[in-house]
Amino acid sequence: MEWMPDKETPREIPPELRRKMKRRNFWKIIIGFSEVAVGIFLYYLLSIFAIPKELAELENLPYGIQTTGMVLWAGARTDININKRPPYEIRYRFKDTNGRDYFGEIWVSQKSRFAQIRAGESVDIVYHRDKPSINKILGSDPMGIPWWVPLLCLVVMLSVGLLFLFLAVKGSAKGFFLLEYGQLAVARVDSIKVLHFVNLGQGIHPAYVTVSFKDDLGRDQTVTVKTTTASLTLKEGESCKVLYDSNEPTKALIVETLSL
């Protein structure tokens, strides 16, 4: 027997539906702001250990000035382990072109040729012409996080956070519009596609539910909405209720799963 929707569907919306929608969008807002806050925190934290871009490119740019310095102390930092190997620290002093004293220090790998430097030796220094505090031993490759890592982390976390905030605002606007003005219809679940290769945590996967129904003008409509396996209680062939925009029936909400 061919499945047919009810000819008349009373607009009986569960009273807890509005509360559930508020709760879901509230958590999206919390996650969004949390992602933004964590991104900013990680940016400043990683920046402490990052190699400044100007220092990384110092030898290849015109503002890099070369001079000779004196090593004040050199040795392995046994109190710090990077990849199970303590870095080799070199502290030195040099004078800029105006005769002012500056101090610097770098960490290098113990496998580096610079790990053979000892206190009292002379070393070639390159420093920033306008900011002598930015300096390093000529030819050395200081240990640290590349300058672009904190920025990349910030961009990714901000993007994820803003996406959650956008979805919360969009979901609230669309969902509450349908709750107030949407038409209610009985639909049939045509297909359910679960993306098993995407894990959202705790065994939860995104899913796409395709339903079909007749709108208030008797036209056949097919809508696909996104949900997750955590809130998915429907099966293919079952009936469900949908709220849809009579002016744009493809904008629909599955009442049972709150899926837009």
Q: Looking at residue 141, what is its pLDDT?
A: 80
Q: Are 252 and 224 in contact (CB under 8 A)?
A: no
Q: Looking at residue 8, what is its pLDDT?
A: 45
The pair of structure tokens assigned to 84 is: 């199970």
Q: Which of 185, 173, 179 is nearest to 221 (CA)?
A: 185
Q: How far is CA 10 from CA 7, 80, 246, in A?
A: 10, 70, 15
pLDDT higher than 90, residue 155: yes
Average pLDDT rounded to a whole number, residues 66-88: 83
Q: Are 137 and 106 in contact (CB under 8 A)?
A: yes
Q: Which residues pair with 206 in a beta bridge?
A: 228
pLDDT tens, position by position, 88-142: 999 999 999 888 999 999 888 888 888 899 999 999 999 998 889 889 998 888 8
pLDDT tens, position by position, 187-233: 899 998 988 888 877 778 888 889 999 888 888 888 888 887 777 77
Q: Looking at residue 258, what is its pLDDT?
A: 54
Q: Are 161 and 32 in contact (CB under 8 A)?
A: yes
Residue 36 has a CB neighbour count (10 Å cut-off) of 19
pLDDT higher than 60, residue 10: no
The pair of structure tokens assigned to 145 is: 């996080």
Q: Looking at residue 12, what is its pLDDT?
A: 56
pLDDT above 90 covers a percentage of the chain that reads 20
pLDDT higher than 60, residue 181: yes
Q: Is the pTM of this model over 0.75?
A: no
Same fold, 55-142 and 182-260: yes
Residue 194 has a CB neighbour count (10 Å cut-off) of 15
Strands in the chain per DSSP E: 64-76, 88-95, 101-108, 122-128, 135-137, 183-194, 206-214, 220-228, 239-245, 248-254
- Domain edges within the chain: 12-50+145-170, 55-142, 182-260
47 CB-near residues (< 8 Å, 6+ apart) = 150
Does the structural domain 182-260 have CATH classification 3.10.150? no
The pair of structure tokens assigned to 48 is: 């402490």
Q: For the domain with range 55-142, which CATH number is right: 2.40.50, 2.60.40, 2.40.10, 3.40.50? A: 2.40.50
Q: Give the strand pairing for 64-76 and 122-128.
A: antiparallel
Residue type, 91: R
Q: Are 80 and 88 in contact (CB under 8 A)?
A: no
